[in-house]
Amino acid sequence: MNNKNQKEKTRRLRKWFKRKNKRTKAFYLDDISGEETEDEGDQKLDGILGISRSWEIDRCTLTNELRIFVGTWNVAGRSPTGSLAVDLEEWLNLKDEADIYVLGFQEVVPLKTRNVIGVEDPRKAANWNLIIGKTLNNKVGCPWMTPLSTPISSDNYNYARSSELVRENSLRYVGTPVRQKSMRQQDEAFGGSIYKLVASKKMVGVFVSVWMKKELLQKYCISNVKVCSVACGIMGYLGNKGAVSVSMSIEGVSFCFIAAHLASGEKKGDEGKRNHQVLEIFKRTSFNPSPQENYNPLPPNILAHDRIFLFGDLNYRLYLEDSLARHLIDKQDWKALQQFDQLRRELEDGGVFQGWREGNIEFAPTYKYSSLNSNRYSGDLQSKSGEKQRTPAWCDRILWYGKGVKQLSYLRSESKFSDHRPVSALFSTPVFVRATNPAAIPTHDILRTGTPPWRGEPINSTEEARSTLLSLLVQDIAGTPRNMHLI
């Protein structure tokens, strides 16, 4: 019976097209004649319907700009304290509010043997997340409630779609951390916070924490959130050096955030060690999909993502004698100093950083300061006895890879919490929102009887034909199951 009704509907639609063709030739259907077979007519009609379907879905594609804050800070093994909130506020630049905050830390624990080879202590990551969450949410005027239960751990997170929460103009999704708390439980623990923790991972001293505005989780499809850690320190496999990475998709655009801590040293050839570790991180980082993600697989490795951010204590130094480096710093001649920067040279030469970009550096080197609460670089003329001699350098950096990324700022902050100064960058990137679920396409937008939203002129016969065709499409859409996609 269903097949018979479908054939009858198709015949009526073909006759309608033939009548319209005699008057307007709007869809160029002259070749649909009465002599063709029914199958041939159906094939041609299917092609027309496919074109119209694609045309309408393209009209339902919107471009939104996301503001992403990326920060990196080597905290020299110090634990967060209540007084650190002031330093965090200055670093996060909350006056210029972002949609997503991606924060990378190095040396959140001292790099001692027991920390490198011992069991991970989740309390360190939890303490950092607590103070970050408090700083973000209190500053934007939303009270932050200290959770009474076990804090969110640094395990994998994965956001799954929920068809029950589809609204008129957008698809909403709820998040469920894998083997962890539901979003509702998080809300109960953390209050009605504006920013939500969506991913967190710690490996020895390297730590990454990703926060999003709650409205983004409601407005966009945030899916396939995964984390991976790669240790490439002592013997090439211990976690005193390496990277932790977060992968996710936002409306089908894949993002990868990599917080890294690379090999130290300013001897000739040490930059080669850092290059090798970057290659190892790219090669060994993998994001394995779970069975339920087969319909929309995550990029399997870092370089397969659309937009990638690499940040951390990358430890690249200057090809310059200490006295000359300090002379240029005193003159604040950052352009001249950059000519001797190892990482800038690697970016220009290609190699492991082929295609990567970095904003112009217009701030002083971020390492190494003499001691805590000091504005003096280590090893200068006023050095204390036994103080390490280090040529100042831009060790703390933020790079990006991929199209569609615009850097809005690149700054350092002046916190004296450690011997490194924190660095931040603000980015803008487009996200293309496509209503792939038929239920998300407002019928009243498709069946405009007045001026179409995509044109400024009155509807002519061609537009009338298109509108009638779309009205028939909507009738079919109404009977389409929610889990079926038009494209």
What pTM does this model have? Answer: 0.71
Tell me the pLDDT tens digit for each residue of 195-205. 999 999 999 99
Q: Name the pLDDT band for 193 (thresholds 50, 70, 90).
A: confident
- In the prediction, which pLDDT does 298 show? 79
| Host H or E run for residue 125 | helix 122-139
* Residues with Cβ within 8 Å of residue 111, at least 6 apart in sequence: 77, 204, 205, 240
- Name the nearest CA neighbour of 91 among 62, 59, 69: 69
User: Which tens digits make up the pLDDT trace of 33-83?
Assistant: 444 454 555 555 455 444 444 444 444 567 789 999 999 999 999 999 878
**Two structure tokens written together for 69:** 């804050």
Share of the chain above pLDDT 90, in %: 52
DSSP secondary structure letters along 139-198? HTT---PPPSSPPP-SS--EEEE-GGG--SSS--EEEE-TTS--HHHHHHHH-S-SEEEE
Q: Which of 213-217, 309-313, 371-375 has the lowest mean pLDDT?
A: 371-375
CA distance 374 to 64: 43
Q: Comparing C-alpha atoms, which of 282, 287, 284 is closest to residue 248?
A: 287
